[in-house]
């Protein structure tokens, strides 16, 4: 008995050490996309030709059965105005599907975070081909769902445990590694004092000169200059440099508040390698919130703004550190930037 307990303790220690850092990932499996962030929280949803019917799964790491499923009807560019049909007209492979368990239902939404309910539904769906609404043309392809669930099991290291969705085993729930420690990004200890009239006048003059002598393709008449205090000795200077149909690329510098002005180009480098993207972030549609000491970027991959990359960075008194990174790789009209799946979160 003593040897068995010792082996269990050692296994948990090794598992915990192996989960000290979680690599964010976003990957597609046929008609399903999976996103797991640096906390090993994973989310999956159906993609491609769903015509407004979407199922989203979410599962937290560790021993707790922190999981949820929601089924939604509608999309950001074409709201659905039909009556509540989700709880009564769902069909599985063209046969009526009677939902069992505990569900919360509102018009166009079904939701459950009950473990037994979610697990029962997923076990049923893994052997089917599609989930649809009768006569409405909306359908969720289940191609790739099993692989998506297996990927989440592997990412959270549940494979072989009782709580796995696909490859179950005899390992107890407590054997699943917990979430890595949540990184903290603190604001500066002191709020930067506002720029005096003299400081602002000097920085605007210097910024205007730099804006007129920068290698930017944007028409000089469309360029704008933005100045904000960062600390007692530094300010943020931002100019519009290039523009497309719905994105403006900015150039940013951290510059001394007093002459002689010493600028340092601002480069934002991600602490991880995002899917199909460079670690150095292009400063699309950048904005700075002086009250929160936070810089945001938003790269829209098409005008509707249903896909792209959204980030938030906080100035800690020395440099900007990543607070949040969200990415939606599929331009399918489902949601806007405020609800894109996250790959990086902090406290």
Give the C-alpha separation, 220 to 240, whole Å.
9
The DSSP secondary-structure symbol of 193 reads P
The DSSP secondary-structure symbol of 162 reads T
CB 299 within 8 A of CB 282: yes
Task: Give me the sign of the Cα torsion angle 33, 34, 37, 42.
Answer: positive
Give the C-alpha separation, 265 to 282, whole Å.
13
Q: Give the per-residue pLDDT at 13.
A: 40
pLDDT digit string, tens, across residues 116-152? 999 999 999 999 999 998 876 899 999 999 999 999 9
Q: Give the per-residue pLDDT at 62.
A: 96
DSSP structure string for 90-127: EEETTEE----S--EEETTEEEE--HHHHHHHHHHHTT
Task: Name the E strands within the chain.
Answer: 25-29, 32-36, 42-46, 53-59, 67-73, 90-92, 95-96, 104-106, 109-112, 130-133, 139-141, 225-229, 234-243, 248-256, 263-265, 287-289, 294-300, 308-315, 320-328, 342-345
Which residue matches tokens 């519009």?
240
Judge if pTM exceeds 0.85: yes
* Cα R_g (the chain), whole angstroms: 24
Strand order, beta sheet including 67-73:
25-29, 32-36, 42-46, 53-59, 67-73, 109-112, 104-106
Give the whole-number percent of the chain exceeding pLDDT 90. 78
Q: Give the per-residue pLDDT at 290.
A: 94
Hey, what are 83's tokens? 């009556």
Better pLDDT: 38 or 16: 38
Q: Does position 89 have pLDDT exceeding 90, yes or no?
A: no
pLDDT digit string, tens, across residues 148-196? 999 999 999 999 999 999 999 999 999 999 999 999 999 888 889 999 9
């Amino acid at each position: 008995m003593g040897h068995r307990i010792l082996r269990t303790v050692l296994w948990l220690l090794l598992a915990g050490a192996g989960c000290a850092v979680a690599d964010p990932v976003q990957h597609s499996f046929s008609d399903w996309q999976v996103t797991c962030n640096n906390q090993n929280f994973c989310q999956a949803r159906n993609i491609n030709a769903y015509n407004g019917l979407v199922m989203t799964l979410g599962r937290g790491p560790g021993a707790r059965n922190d999981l949820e499923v929601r089924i939604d009807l509608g999309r950001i560019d074409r709201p659905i105005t039909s009556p509540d049909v989700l709880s009564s007209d769902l069909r599985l492979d063209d046969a009526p599907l009677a939902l069992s368990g505990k569900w919360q239902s509102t018009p166009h939404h079904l939701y459950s975070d009950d473990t037994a309910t979610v697990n029962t539904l997923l076990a049923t769906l893994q052997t089917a081909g599609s989930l649809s609404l009768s006569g409405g043309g909306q359908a969720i392809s289940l191609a790739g769902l099993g692989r998506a669930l297996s990927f989440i099991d592997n990412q959270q290291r549940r494979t072989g445990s009782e709580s796995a969705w696909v490859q179950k085993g005899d390992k107890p729930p407590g054997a699943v590694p917990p979430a890595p420690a949540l990184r903290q990004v603190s604001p500066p200890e002191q709020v930067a004092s506002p720029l005096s009239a003299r400081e602002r006048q000097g920085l605007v003059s210097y910024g205007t000169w730099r804006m007129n002598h920068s290698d930017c393709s944007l028409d000089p008449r469309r360029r704008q200059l933005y100045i904000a205090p960062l600390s007692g000795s530094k300010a943020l200077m931002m100019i519009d440099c290039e523009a497309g149909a719905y994105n403006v690329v900015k150039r940013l510098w951290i510059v001394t508040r007093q002459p002689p002005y010493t600028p340092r180009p601002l480069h934002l480098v991600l602490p991880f390698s995002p899917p199909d993207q460079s670690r150095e972030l292009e400063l699309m549609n950048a904005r700075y919130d002086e009250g929160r000491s936070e810089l945001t970027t938003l790269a829209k991959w098409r005008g509707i703004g249903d896909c792209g990359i959204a980030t938030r960075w906080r100035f800690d008194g020395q440099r900007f550190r990543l607070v949040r990174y969200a990415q939606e790789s599929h331009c399918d009209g489902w949601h806007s930037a405020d609800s894109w799946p996250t790959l990086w979160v902090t406290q």
